[in-house]
Amino acid sequence: MVDERAQLEVATLGECRIDSPLSALLRRQGTTQHYVDEADRVLLDDTVSLLAARGVPVAELPGFEPGGPRSKIYFDPSKTRVGIVTCGGLCPGLNDVIRALVLELTNHYGVRRIFGFRNGYQGLTARYARPVVDLDPEAVSGINEYGGTILGTSRGNQDPNEIVDCLEQLSVNVLFVIGGDGSMRGALRIAEVVAERGLRIAVVGVPKTIDNDIPYIERSFGFQTAFAKATEAIRAAHVEAKAFPNGIGLVQLMGRHSGFIACYAALANNDADYVLIPEVPFALDGPGGFLEHLRRRVVDRGHAMVVVAEGAGQEYLSAKGVDASGNVRLEDFGRYLRGRIAEHFAAAGVEANLKYIDPSYTIRSVPADPYDSVYCIRLAHAAVHAAMAGRTEMVVGRWRGRFVHVPISLAISSRNLVDPDGDLWLSVLEATGQPPVFA
C-alpha cells in the first residue's frame, strides 16, 4: 500500500475557472452527472476501504484522484495548443490513442491546433530539425486500422531543456506523451524543466507497453492484443512438436523483466508444459533441473511445449550490452535454451526434434484488437479531460475499475511483475503441471 499521501497528489497548473464546453453536450443529453466529484477518491487497498466503511472521512484517506470530465477547466480551448508524441517500442493501439486524443480535443473541447511530433522525443529537438505534422480529424481518419504509430517513434536520450525550448517556441500548452517507463521518466524531466521556467504547460502521459509492467494501470493497452497474437506461435509450435517423434516446441516471447505475455499466451492455448519467466528463478542443470525434467517428459509422453520469456534465466547468460537509452540489453534466453536443450538430449543419446519460434516484433506491430481499441479510446478521453483541467506530471491509469490520475513519479517508482506467490502464477503451474521449483 502507498502510504505517503503527498505521493498521490497530482500537480495542477492553477484554478479551473472556465466552463467546460462539454457542459453543453451533457446538458443536451439531459445530464451533468458525468462530471467527476472532486472529493471522490479511488482507494488503494482493502485496508483503506475498511477504514472508509468505519467512517474515517474518505478525503483523509490515501487514494487516487478519479479521471473524467470536470465542469470547470483550466485551459481556454480556443487558445490551447497541443502536442502529441509517441516514444519507445511499438505497441498495438498507439494510433487509436493518437486518433482519440485528436477527436476528443477537437470535437468536444474545440481545440484548433494540434501538433504531432515525429519520431519520439527526437522530434522536439533542434538536432533533428523538429519535424512537426498538423493533426486534425481528417489527418487521423482511419489510422486506428493500422499497427505502429503514424508519428514514428525512437529510443535514445534527448535533452529536456531543448524539448522545452521547442514547446515554448511553438507556444504549446499541453504535451501528451504516449510511451513506456523510459518515456515517462523523460516526461517527468520535461515537467520539471517546465516548472523551473515557471511555464504553464501540462505534461500528461498515456502509458503504453505490451509487457504490462507499468504499475497502477491494472493492464496496459496493447498487452491483450500482443499476447493474443503470441498464441499463434504457440499453436504452430505445438502442432509441430506433436507431429514429430520426441518433438519439442520452444517459443520465445517478449518480456524483458515481466513475464505477463508468456503467462497469458500460455494459458490462452493451454498447451504449454513449461513456462519460464524472469520473476521465477530456476535451475537448468542437475537432477532436479529443467533440462532433466524436460527430457523425462519427452521420453514419457512423446512431445513437450515450452514457452519462455526473453528476460528469463538471465543468470545463465554472460554477454550483456547497453542499448541506445542506456538500458541493459538482455540477451534472448530462448535462443540460448534452444542450444542447451539440443546439447542435453544429444549427451543423453535421446533423439529430439526441436522447433523454435520467436514471433518477436510480429506481436507488437499489429493493430489493436477491439477490446484494446476501446481501452485506448477511454484512456485518451481521460488524458484529455485531465490536461484540459490543468493536471500535469501525471499519467492516466485504471485502478479498481475506475480511470484515475497517477503522478508520474509513482507510475515509474516500481515495475509490475508476475507474483510468484500470486494466483496468476498458480494458474500457470496448474495448467502446465510443471513443478513449482526446478532446483
Ligand X SMILES: Nc1ncnc2c1ncn2[C@@H]1O[C@H](COP(=O)(O)OP(=O)(O)OP(=O)(O)O)[C@@H](O)[C@H]1O
Ligand Y SMILES: O=P(O)(O)OC[C@H]1O[C@](O)(CO)[C@@H](O)[C@@H]1O
Report yes or no: 18 and 73 within 8 Å, Cβ to Cβ. Answer: yes
As a whole number of angstroms, the distance between CA 263 and CA 427 comes to 9
Q: Is 89 an interacting residue with respect to ligand Y (CB under 6 A)? A: yes
255 binds, among ligand Y, ligand X, none (CB under 5 to 8 A by kind): ligand Y
255-284 residues near ligand Y, rule: CB under 6 A: 255-256
φ, ψ of residue 402 to 5 degrees: the values are -125, 150
By CB under 6 A, the count of residues binding ligand X is 21
Applying CB under 6 A, the span of 16-24, 107-115, 160-168, 252-260 interacting with ligand Y comes to 252-260
195-224 residues near ligand Y, rule: CB under 6 A: 209-211
CB nearer ligand Y, residue 243 or residue 324: 324
Instruction: Give catalytic residue positions.
Output: 211
Q: How many residues in the chain? A: 439
CB nearer ligand Y, residue 99 or residue 364: 364
116 binds, among ligand X, ligand Y, none (CB under 5 to 8 A by kind): none
Cα dihedral 418/420/423/428 (nearest 10): 80
According to the annotation, is 364 in a ligand binding site? yes
According to the annotation, is 363 in a ligand binding site? yes
CB of residue 415 to ligand X, shortest distance in Å: 11
Most distant CA pair in the chain, distance: 78
CB of residue 64 to ligand X, shortest distance in Å: 22
CB of residue 226 to ligand X, shortest distance in Å: 11
Report yes or no: 93 and 132 within 8 Å, Cβ to Cβ. Answer: no
364 binds, among ligand X, ligand Y, none (CB under 5 to 8 A by kind): ligand Y
149 binds, among ligand X, ligand Y, none (CB under 5 to 8 A by kind): none
CB nearer ligand X, residue 256 or residue 344: 256
Q: Is 332 an interacting residue with respect to ligand Y (CB under 6 A)? A: no
139-178 residues near ligand X, rule: CB under 6 A: 154-158
129-158 residues near ligand Y, rule: CB under 6 A: none
Q: Cβ–Cβ contacts within 10 Å for residue 4, how many?
A: 9
Q: Is 89 an interacting residue with respect to ligand X (CB under 6 A)? A: yes
As a whole number of angstroms, the distance between CA 159 and CA 7 comes to 26
The region that residue 27 occupies, defined by phi over 0 for left and psi between -120 and 50 for alpha, beta otherwise, is: alpha
CB of residue 31 to ligand X, shortest distance in Å: 38
CB of residue 282 to ligand Y, shortest distance in Å: 20
240-276 core/surface letters (b: 16 or more CB in 10 A; e: else)? bbeebebbbbbbbbbbbbbbbbbbbbbbbbebbbbbb
According to the annotation, is 310 in a ligand binding site? yes
CB nearer ligand X, residue 186 or residue 334: 186
According to the annotation, is 391 in a ligand binding site? no
CB nearer ligand X, residue 42 or residue 150: 150
CB nearer ligand X, residue 62 or residue 207: 207
Report yes or no: 16 and 387 within 8 Å, Cβ to Cβ. Answer: no
CB of residue 187 to ligand X, shortest distance in Å: 8
Applying CB under 6 A, the span of 45-53, 86-94, 141-149, 282-290 interacting with ligand X comes to 86-94
Q: Which residues bind ligand X (CB under 6 A)?
A: 87-89, 120-121, 154-158, 179-183, 185-186, 189, 209, 325, 327
Q: Please give the annotated binding residues for substrate, written as ranges.
A: 209-211, 254-256, 310, 361-364
Q: Please give the annotated binding residues for Mg(2+), written as ranges.
A: 181
Q: Which residues bind ligand Y (CB under 6 A)?
A: 89, 180, 209-211, 254-256, 310, 364
